[in-house]
Structures are given as C-alpha cells and as structure tokens.
Structure 1
Amino acid sequence: MSLDDKRVLLFDLDGTLVDSAPDLAAAVNQTLVHLGREPFPEATVRNWVGNGALPLISRGLSGAKEIDATLPQDLVDQALAAFLDFYAHNVCDKSVLYPEVKETLLALKQRGYRLAIITNKPEKFIEPMLQGLGLSGVFEFCLGGDSLPERKPNPLPLFTACAMMNAEIADCVMIGDSKNDILAAKAAKMDSIGVSYGYNYDEDLGIHEPDFLFDHFNELLSVLDDLKTPA
C-alpha cells in the first residue's frame, strides 16, 4: 500500500483517538449497580468495548465477553436505556486523547487531508466527546453505530463515507484499533491502518492483516512525512 495517493482518512474513535474506557466502565457499572448486580473492574470492561453500546452492556449483564444468549430481552432493554442515560452525563469525564492524537490530526488537516470519523459509538455521543477533548471542527463529518442500518465490520459506513465525500475507495484509508475496522475495510476493498493499542479483546490485530500496523498514533504522520502533500 502506498499512502501518497490517499486523500481521505477515516478514523475510528474509541480506542483509536480516545481512551474512553474509564467513562464507559463507569456507566456500565452504574447500570449494573442500578439493577442490583455486582460491578466489574475497569480493566475487565475494557475488554468488552468496541462493538457499540448494546453489545457492551450485554457483556456487562453476561459478566463475560461472550454474550449470554439467554438474557431476557426486557432486561437488556432496561439495561441499555439506563446505560445510555448514565453515559450521557459523563461522556467526557475521564476520557482522554491518546498521546499525540490532536497534534497529528491537526498536522494532517493542515497538509490538506480530509478527515472523518466512522465509529460504532451511538451518534449522539460523538460531538459532545469531540467538544470535550478539543477536536470539534477537525472532522468533516461523523458516522455513529446507529447512523445507518449496518455498522462496522459491515462495509456500509465506509461506502457511505465515500459517497458523502465524493471520493473513490482508492482515495481512502480506514484507521482503527479493532478487527471491526480492518474487516470493514477489507469488505469495502479499502486500504487500512491498524493501531496496536486500544480495544481489540486482547487479540493481536496483525492477524487481520491491516496494510500498516502502528504502535503509536503519530507514526501515521511519520509515514506521511516523506510523501507529497495532497493537492
């Protein structure tokens, strides 16, 4: 893969740009306590993040990464509503940007790259998080996990982003921390970049064969340093 022909950079949010696990874990545990259940350590909840709100709270109810198929639907619905309410009040309380994220994004934008977010996070939480972390206005648009009928690893959000930005698949690259990002990119026949930190269920992201795999976010910028600035 050559990055010199890329003009559009599509970023995952949680686990790629933002370490949001502390606030997500707090909301999960508030929900569980509200339902009379035992909370979990933040480190445990970290391994459940990455597929969106419904799988996250379902894992909390199950007490495991593998969701209990026998969970009553009314319990799941009740828990999801409570989780979304608790999280809405603390979207950006303890969440922080990963090192060098803001500096790298601003440098890319200055070079003329077009930036967008494709996340499985519910759409209503995206802008409050960006505002809280000083990233408001950096991205052309954001697609959440409930913005479309399908979410990552389905390629629909990536196709939609291309259409919204009047870009070809070959113009774009998907950047994320989980297999959902890489699998969505592969399904769309789009190039991908993985970051080794974040939330990927303790799985080596390399097994999904992203075109590049970085340990630090600003390595994206270092790869682009010697390439031609987009017109």
Structure 2
Amino acid sequence: MKFNHKEVILFDLDGTLIDSVPDLAAAVNHMLEVLNRESFTEETIRYWVGNGAQMLVKRALSGQTEVDETLDQSLFENALELFLKFYGQNLSHRTIAYPNVPATLHALKEKGYRLVIVTNKPFDFVVPILKGLKLDGVFDFWVGGDSLEKKKPDPLPLLHACEHMNVSVEQCVMVGDSKNDLLAAGTCGMQSVGVTYGYNYGEDIRIYNPTYIINDFSELNALL
C-alpha cells in the first residue's frame, strides 16, 4: 500500500530530519554551568528534546522530564536567554542529517511534492541549520514553535501549513518521530508516517498509531 493524492509533505525537524542533540546538549550544559548547576549527559538530554526550547530549559533546570512547577520565573528567564544565545551561535557544529535524508528529500521534490517543515524549534534557528546542512533550497515553507500561539501536539501548526500551501488536510501527510507529531496529525485527521529513530521519550512510536511506520528515511520513496 502507499499514499494516494498527496501534494504536500510536512516534516518535523529535530529527530526526524536531523540529529541536533549534540548541539542542544552543549547549549544546555553551557547554560547550567554558567548558573553553577549540575550538567547532564547527552543521552539524558536526548529524552528532554521535542517540545521546544522553553520546555527543554525547564526540564534541564528541573533535572528530569517532569518539570518542577516551583521553578523561579526569573531563574527560568535568565536560563532561557543563556541557552538561546549560546545555541544560536552554535547551531550546526555537530548537528547532522539522518542517513538518506538529503537524497530522499531531493527525490521527493523531483517527484513534484512540495515540502514543508513544521517544528517546535524556534523559527529563527530553522534556516541557519538548513543552510548549514545544504537543505535550504528543498523546502517551500516552514513553521517554528514560536510562529503561532500554539505548537505541536496542537494541530494548529499543521492546519496553518495547509492553509498557507492552499491544500486540504487530506492532500498532506505528516512525517515525524514523536507523539507530538502524530497526535497533531491525528487530531486534524491527517495521515502520518512515524519514524522509529529520533526522540520519542523512550516510547514506541507505534503507540500513537501512525498510518505507516518506517525504520529508514529512504522508505518514504516507496510510500509516496
């Protein structure tokens, strides 16, 4: 089986197209060190990625996935500023595209699909990373985590992308690595592809009922 009548493919960024954890972890630990707080391993921080910069910072300050609701607001704001400044200056030092991502994206574009990024990453970071990986010419549009009043798992970013691209939900498919992507797609009735690698908080992506599941990004070619 494969998808029919699709025109636009929406992609998550972190954990789906790119592994950005090494650079995110460096920024998190820089922030914590400046604040004289305990730093964490890259693997620990990997479980905190996927809900945007603010949640990542709150999890780092809490030292766990569940955010400490008693966090001091001024501490959080200072920490967020430290994180964003450092990360903004070190976006692509160790961030890489996952295997077969560039070739598959170019192949899909050559087939006539229009490609869109819908990420929870701050908007201003998207283009520099794409340029660093030489993927900036592939996408028609992108939505950041701070582009709208809500982000994934809310369906608003997906619906906004559909409206901007002048297509229906049925003409699109969402490709992502986490429950945020699949819950957003499911809520608005969009078909989806879940990738088994990436950042899904240690959960099996199958729990969230994607239309299809792939283990390697190149498998999209057979579905579209």
> Could you say which residue in structure 2 is the equivalent of 1:98?
98
Letter in 2 for 1:62: S
Q: Could you say what the CA RMSD is over the residues aligned between the two structures, in angstroms?
A: 0.8
> Could you say which residue in structure 2 is the equivalent of 1:22?
22
Matched residue of 1:25: which SS? helix
Shift of the alpha carbon at 1:180? 0.2
Shift of the alpha carbon at 1:222? 2.4
**Cα distance in 1, alignment partners of residues 223 and 158 from structure 2:** 23
Alignment length, in residue pairs? 224
Tell whether the 8 Å contact from 2:196 to 2:214 is kept in structure 1 after alignment: yes
> Could you say which residue in structure 2 is the equivalent of 1:227?
none
Matched residue of 1:218: which SS? helix
**Cα distance in 1, alignment partners of residues 138 and 166 from structure 2:** 18
**Cα distance in 2, alignment partners of residues 222 and 187 from structure 1:** 26
Matched residue of 2:4: which SS? helix
**Cα distance in 2, alignment partners of residues 218 and 7 from structure 1:** 18
TM-score, with normalisation over the residues of structure 1?
0.96
Shift of the alpha carbon at 1:4? 2.1
- Cα deviation code 1:1-24 (max 9, x no counterpart): 841211110000000000000000
TM-score, with normalisation over the residues of structure 2?
0.98
> Could you say which residue in structure 2 is the equivalent of 1:72?
72
Unmatched tracts of structure 2, length 5 or more? none
Letter in 2 for 1:106: H
> Could you say which residue in structure 2 is the equivalent of 1:3?
3
Letter in 2 for 1:174: M
**Cα distance in 2, alignment partners of residues 222 and 167 from structure 1:** 22
The 5-angstrom pairing of residues 189-204 of structure 1 reads 189-204=189-204
Consecutive aligned runs of 4 or more in structure 1 exceeding 3 Å deviation: none
1:36 aligns with 2:36: yes
Give the percent of matched residue pairs that are identical in Structure 1 and Structure 2. 55
Unmatched tracts of structure 1, length 5 or more? 225-231
> Could you say which residue in structure 2 is the equivalent of 1:166?
166
Letter in 1 for 2:152: K
> Could you say which residue in structure 2 is the equivalent of 1:58?
58
Letter in 2 for 1:136: D
Letter in 1 for 2:64: A
Tell whether the 8 Å contact from 2:121 to 2:144 is kept in structure 1 after alignment: yes
- Cα deviation code 1:142-195 (max 9, x no counterpart): 100000011001011111101100001110001000000000001111111100
Matched residue of 2:194: which SS? strand
